[in-house]
Amino acid sequence: MNTPHDPAMLARAETLIDALPYLQRYAGRTFVVKYGGHAMGDPELAHDFAQDIVLLKAVGINPVVVHGGGPQIGAMLKRVGVESNFVDGLRVTDKETAEIAEMVLSGSINKELVGWIAGAGGKAIGLSGKDGGLVTARKVTRTSKDPDSNIERAVDLGYVGEPARIDTEVLETMCASGIIPVIAPIAPGEDGSTYNINADTMAGAIAAALGASRLFLLTDVAGVLDNFGRLLTDLRPADIERMQEEGTITGGMIPKLETCVHAVEAGCEAAVVLDGRVPHAMLLEMFTPEGAGTLIRA
């Protein structure tokens, strides 16, 4: 039996005391969390994530969750015999693919995540950009340069969109009512079509519109690394631009950091890229002096 002077019990108390200034600083503030990657497919990590979200709500922070689902969409398309093509990491989306993406994102994934949060003791409601006029999308346009002629040509990605307008009223109402919004990255366009939106892009736009204290992008890497593989804990937009020119930042990290920069320049206080495979990574980032990922701020 533990005694009041048991070292393990004292360590727990000291952990809570260490977290106190951070809890006071962020009480009443909003955190937007993009959840996806391999962590989404791991039941144990999903349970940890749900506990973290419920804890944030319990200590007075308003978490807003935006989830992805690329692998799950890909698996469903494979099951029904639809082949996927990608341009710059974005899935070319015809009408059939868009319908399947909406079914997977707004259906099975969204409701499963709502269920995890409910299982951890929270009250969550799933929605997409279609609900409450939350997001209005515009069609994404891309160009591709022919390597031989060096001529640029337009590439039609189909029903792939990006946020054009965001009405935060429904999210603010839910947060004030003790509800955790869980958002699928699907939204209508002004043309009446349904568009699939990259989840990072959706989360960044929502974080900016809400004036969130933090945008978290949970990824499958530790954060932004330098050329020696060391974690960079604090970056500004100018640092990111320089590192991209030097080739330190490459591949899929480039659009993630572009999302972070756009968010912090448009009203979000700071963005964090961190490893969603690490249990309770968000709590380590927010409530310990050391942090756990790469912080980007303007």
What CATH code is carried by the domain that includes residue 141? 3.40.1160.10
3-state secondary structure of 21: helix
**Structural domains of the chain, count:** 1
CA angle 133, 169, 73 (to 5 degrees): 50
For residue range 180-201, list pLDDT tens digits in order. 999 999 999 999 999 999 999 9
Expressed as residue numbers, the domain containing 57 is: 28-296
Three-state SS at 61:
coil
Identify whether 236 is part of a domain. Answer: yes
User: In this model, does residue 55 exceed pLDDT 60?
Assistant: yes
Does residue 22 lie in a domain region? Answer: no
> For the residues of 119-146, what is the DSSP string, one character each?
HTT--EEEEETTGGG-EEEEE--EEEE-
Residue 17 lies in a domain: no
In a domain, 62, yes or no: yes
pTM for the full model?
A: 0.90
CA gap 168, 133 in Å, rounded? 9
Q: What would the two tokens of residue 136 be?
A: 């209005």
Residue 149 has pLDDT above 70, yes or no: no
* 73 or 209, which is more confident: 209
pLDDT confidence of residue 148: 65
pLDDT per residue as tens digits for the range 66-84: 999 888 888 898 898 888 7
